Structure 1
Amino acid sequence: MERSGSELPVVYENPWRALGRDLRAVAASCLLALRRLWRRQWEGDLPVPPFWPRRQATLFWPALLLALLLLTLGGGVAVQLLRSPSAETPAETPAEAPIESLPIAPSSAFRAEGTAAGVEATEPSLESPAVAEPELREAEPPEPVAPSPGLEAIALPPGFSDDSGLVMAAPESGIAALLELRISQAFKALAEPERQRLAQQWWHQALGLGYERLRLIDGGGAELGRNAVVGGGMILLD
């Protein structure tokens, strides 16, 4: 409090000092309440449920508090186990290598087209040591093969000759400027230079007979080769 000679209309009291005094009073009151609760607990004076034995009244509230504590701890442990990754989860398998990363050898069609156009095709060198390909022996001209019984041979165009015996038929294509030649399966067994030579020979004959396009097919109708649109020559397909 302020001195009696203060000019204030009422007696001034520091609020912080009053708050400290009140807090001490509240703490003393709580302490007394706890002591009274402790005394009543061990005297069996606290209320208990009807099903609880009256002689064991002093054990009800401690047992209840212990059960709540155990439930709280068990719930915390369960939450931690659910959040942690399971040890039985199988390890992730490595992703397959993308197809783009695998080395792809150039197709034989590209090599044939480059050869027909007069351009020397070069394959890009890979990091792995190149494996020397076995030298191709010059294949001997095969013996003439008779047409299969299931294929009906059609007469070749007038003026067209074939010394290899590989041309089995010349079916009608329905296009006047297109000449289709059905080739024996033995054609695929020849070396690439020999196949290219025969295809070029047939192409020159087709041009001399007035055809603008030449198409080579096998017995099943699959395309084996065709004339190049740009640059002339023949393109062989595997």
Structure 2
Amino acid sequence: MLRSRELWRRNRQGSLWSPSWWPSDLAPLFWPALALFLAALLGSALVLLLRVWPSAPDPAAPAAPAAVVQSAPEPQQSSEPMSDPQVAQAPALVEEPPVQPIEPIEPSEPSDADASDLEPEGFEGPYAPDPLLELVQRPEADGLLVQAEGVADQSLLILQVRPAFPALTPQEQQRRAEVWQLWANQLGYEHLELRDSRSGLIARDALVGEGMIVLSESPST
């Protein structure tokens, strides 16, 4: 349920993946449109399958009687007179082989290669894991991260932290910021920003050199 809500929220924000040719202002409509297209395609395939499916013969229906061919009686050639002129040779019965019912042809199931043609390029399936969601849910984050948002054109990863982060000591804030910077680099992001619930900037990567610059201060005791 939580994952469904998260995907729905990210879809409304337009942060889910969409093809490069899809307009960015219509990004929230890409996945609903794709789902409707696949549903319509599946419905058309089922209707076509029902139309071409041959009806099987009813096993309870009586079979057609075999045709009986009667041959004309041949005169009996014998030197002895027939004792009874009323006795005639029984006609020969020729039975045709029974008609075999036609078995319906079962439609072949589409192969994996055909099914892959229906998916757009870069589509990893509805159950593909979200790397940004997995980053937020890592046990090493200790629940200090709320959400992650990537800005692809700037190679920037924005992490929203909980109010407990500014309450840490400056040394602990610096350590965790550098660990999260390493995670961002592993996902292919060159820059990292830490923001609070009001989108205020708390920390960012150094413009000169390496490491993180933490702008917040721990509250005085």
Pairwise same-fold verdict (TM > 0.5): no
The structure with the greater share of residues assigned to helix is 1
The structure with the greater share of residues assigned to strand is 2
TM-score, normalised by the number of residues in structure 2: 0.36
Relative contact order (C-alpha < 8 Å, sep 6+): which is higher? Answer: 1
